[in-house]
Structure 1
């Protein structure tokens, strides 16, 4: 059973594939150009020997050095040992067969990728992790899988709750750039500290650390060293590291693969504006002459075009338009009617008890907060109280 999963899709149980992967030296080397165009982290299973991190200093990279574009800065921070072999070649061919889509996806990453790479640098994490949203969501913060995973990093609801990502009528922080990146890098740090191996951390992010620990146990029981190429993995998970390696190779030598990397500056794309009162983004768009979609692009965690101060107090705006937006906000008058009320869960609360206390139906309370009959309430969780405002959407 997958106890913890952030992948776009869930691997089918019983489908295994041993990846054709060979360890390569730690330095990045491109391939020859192809001609083909209440969930808790699972503790390690008893008896499984895991490597300890060699050092608390994982990697050092300075993104403040001016390379002119972000890709050079990201390349300097590559630190996960390379792999090669047939699986990497196959994944390279897949990327290159859809070269147009790949280049469009690289362009779509512009508003977000510098920030994610910078967060990796702050934590001394390999910058390969900044490429994971290409695999998980094609860098689409509104991406949603059949298993209800959402956002750039594709957190499922329960994992999002574990990492304190708010999910209610007004916000879904699994889609929020800042909150979800914090959660994803927290999770990767936890996984690396658990295994002392980045490749095992990567497949655990996709398959779940409990499942990977069982695969390690199985390999050890068979007398095999518990490393990536010796594990029996589902097909999707077996392809995860090769897929990242192929993308890493392409970004390392784009001309060799005839791929055009977009000109993404090695500089912040946005700034954060703090708000203590509610803000209707439709009104702000009219005041500034900006398109509503520009606000949505940087604030995908907002489920409605309203920033509710009780739920979120940070608005991300394009850095080149920040002064204009700040000036407009000086004349902005918050709506007199509150968009909604919230309730903070206390010890001993139940959904039925809260509904009775707030004089709302259990069904409406659950619907407003995306809760199911099996959902678990956590102390401190913010619930939206239904019925205090009509629901709107980004097109309204």
Structure 2
């Protein structure tokens, strides 16, 4: 197995009510079954335990005592797990894995499928981009497989099994390697071996986060084993599937799918959090998870739905100066999607012709990537005022944080980003500053203008470039003698631009 980088946990603040309350709780299901041992998923999990839970050192005790002091948090997180936990248990049992591992998303993400860490890890199992790709979790504008409940669970269990095999079946070392990386654990063991010290997890010199990571899982497993002892109430979960998978056969608007399934769009997103936009991805996957009780009706209604009603379409007449990328941006899609739908073999488009463009069918997609971003950006922060900063060429989170006198992590968090995420020219960042909407302290007008050398890309036009950099076409022409019209732009041409890095809309 190739060496993979560490998988940083989302590090949720357990004091943060947004984390614990930010998702709708599942509707009560089969209340008559509650408390019946043969129908209790927690009982099934306890019966499948395979780790040594008798360990009671200071590290485990500290984690357990924290959870015990915050019983309402533990109850909310286990309530949230109801949508996903039965599937995870079935998958782990089929592999004969110790069932303590099914509680790892409590540590990783608090069972929030939209969790995103400062280390760019996403989803319930907190895959970073490179590790997600290694395990086949596609990440596109439409879809992020790291949040796909079924696929990310199988990938995480695959990874844990590989790590367990690497460390001769030692699950604690496998867990440590899941967090810190296999190489980190192997190096720590080599160091201990050379020093004549024990090679088990408890004696290794590992990163601080990892030394707490394994004890957290053991503490959670101990509380699940004896919740009454620690004053914790587990949300009752039936030992039966919560969802069923339905192949929808192609792209479909998620509001339309929710209506066909008889559920809210929020519930559909919570079962299918991998879909970033208002519809399933045009290139798949084509399966949707719906509550098991609604699956048969959903299949019947889907089969009766005319193909032209699966998505809403707009016929757009191409205007002079349009580019495929600019049209895609205006209509919240991608140039690749427009090429595919309209059978285009490149990015060349002709004014006067029409394009078929997918459009959202409803006004609200409460858990789409755009809606989650807008909610996070708009959440008021005490004593601070919001400034919208439009990203210009050359901007970095570090430089912007310094300019606005805020921390990099805070700036990233306000915009549902990680500090290492790249910025896109034209992207709007919400900055919650104590300085108000004035220009960042210490920056005068000259310091805010930067000279940018831009390389023309296929499909670019002067109008598209002007829109992207928040300048005018006439300015571009003035700065670049001889550029008289779009017909002179060729891929690879270099343009000089003078861009205001504030670029506030």
Tell me the TM-score normalised to structure 1 length.
0.71
- Paired position in structure 1 for 2:122: 150
The DSSP-based 3-state class of the residue aligned with 1:165 is coil
CA RMSD of aligned residues (A): 2.9
Contact kept in structure 2, 1:308 and 1:339, CA below 8 Å = no
CA separation of 1:112 and 1:9: change in aligned 2, threshold 3 A: closer
Greater RCO, CA 8 A, separation 6+: 1
Give the structure 1 partner of residue 173 of structure 2. 200
Instruction: Choose which of 28, 33, 42 in structure 2 pairs with 1:71.
Output: 42
Structure 2 counterparts to residues 381-396 of structure 1, below 5 A: 385=337, 389=357, 394-395=365-366
Shift in Å, 1:256: 1.1
In the alignment, what sits opposite 2:268?
A: 295
1:7 alignment partner in structure 2: 8
- Listed as ranges, the gaps of 5+ residues in structure 2 are 12-35, 314-322, 342-356, 372-505
Q: Select which of 199, 219, 222 maps to 1:249.
A: 222
- Asked if 1:236 is matched to 2:209, the reply is yes
1-structure distance, mates of 2:249, 2:261: 20
Distance 1:122 1:69 in 2: 19
Partner of 2:143: 171
Q: Does 1:121 align with 2:122?
A: no
Deviations, residues 199-226 of structure 1 (Å, cap 9, x unaligned): 1000000000011111111111111121
Q: Aligned in 2, Cα 1:329/1:66: closer, same or farther, shift over 3 Å?
A: farther
Indicate yes or no: 2:157 matched with 1:185: yes
CA distance in 2, matches of 1:155, 1:135: 13
Normalized against structure 2, the TM-score is what?
Answer: 0.57
- Which one has a larger percent helix, Structure 1 or Structure 2? 2
Q: Secondary structure at the match of 2:196?
A: coil
The whole-number CA distance in structure 1 between the counterparts of 2:333 and 2:172 is: 36
Report which stretch shifted further, 204-213 or 254-263: 254-263
Q: Which residue of 2 aligns with 1:80?
A: 51
Q: How many residues align?
A: 308
**1:360–1:162 distance in 2 versus 1, CA, 3 Å:** farther
Measured after TM superposition, the shift of residue 322 of structure 1 is 1.5
For residue 244 of structure 2, give the secondary structure of its aligned residue in structure 1.
Answer: strand
1:279 aligns with 2:280: no
The answer to whether the 8 A contact 2:252-2:311 is kept is no
Q: Closer, same or farther in 2 for the Cα pair 1:7/1:326, shift >3 Å? A: same
Task: Give the deviation of 1:113 after TM superposition.
Answer: 0.5
- Comparing 136-145 with 302-311, greater Cα deviation is found at 302-311
2:71 corresponds to: 99
- Distance, in Å, in 2 between the alignment partners of 1:323 and 1:337 is 18
Once the two structures are TM-superposed, the CA of residue 274 in structure 1 deviates from its matched residue by: 1.0
